[in-house]
Amino acid sequence: MRIRFTKMQGLGNDFIVIDGISQQPNLTPHLVQRLSDRRFGIGCDQLLVVEHPTKPEVDFRYRIFNADGSEVENCGNGARCFAKFVRDRRLTGKSVITVETASGIMTLKVLADGQVSVDMGAPILLPNLIPLQATNQNPTYRLEIDDKTIEFGSVSMGNPHAVLQVNDINAAPVATLGAKIESHPMFPKRVNVGFMERVSASEINLRVFERGVGETLACGTGACAAVVSGRLQGLLDEQVNVHLPGGDLVIRWSGCGQSVIMTGPAVTVFHGQIRV
């Protein structure tokens, strides 16, 4: 079987995007792992699939697989690439596109300058829905790791996030501490871990250890979660420039019950075929 694919990236967060409408790939977890492998496959942080919707009111179904083969609920950088892909491949001529994900409906808007704005929906803050093992909703929570108390904010953007404040983003122990928090018992479905350095009320630096992937150059849902967490603690303005290792995103959130709006680039790298 040959699979046609497009390699794309959003701020260095890279994706294999597969048109599952004109072809029917049987994407088992093992095959996703093979395709995602950077030495023996194509290589990516996540694999994205475009499918026919199951709901009549939306345009496409958007599925996301991590490099370890696990299917996950949401990916913000991937959503921007998804929007560019379906327009470039002439699967739609719309500039405003609705897609269904495992966590709900998303609206993607392709702007005149080529950037893509994504309505990420309202953040989920109730601990049992994040999910997080905590009794009450609070701006911050605590957990114990290696006899140290770690304070963090927690938000779901359709996928769970923990956000830690750090003084120096370059010195943050992203790989080691991120891995320990990702699989901590407080998070029944594991968690993405953001390390946030506040520059000002309208600017932060951010690194993210993604669940099932490790540190990536950018994480759209992680940027949204960091801004929401910072806003809940009274640290950030309504609109924030988020500097990630791969580039910048603009995140806007006006408050509880309102959608988070993420704006940033999406880039096609190359098209190809692979025999499996």
Q: Which residues are catalytically annotated?
A: 75, 219
What does the angle CA 14 – CA 209 – CA 106 come to, to the nearest 5 degrees?
Answer: 60
Buried b (16+ CB within 10 A) or exposed e, 181-214: bbebebbeebbbbbbbbbeeeeebbbbbbbbbbb
In one-letter notation, the amino acid at residue 99 is V
Bond prior to 131 in cis (omega within 30° of 0): yes
**Those residues with Cβ within 8 angstroms of residue 154's Cβ, 6 or more apart along the chain or in another chain:** 127, 130, 132, 134, 141, 160, 161, 162, 163, 191, 229
Q: What's the rounded Cα separation, in Å, for the pair 218 and 208?
A: 7
Tokens standing for residue 199:
């520059």
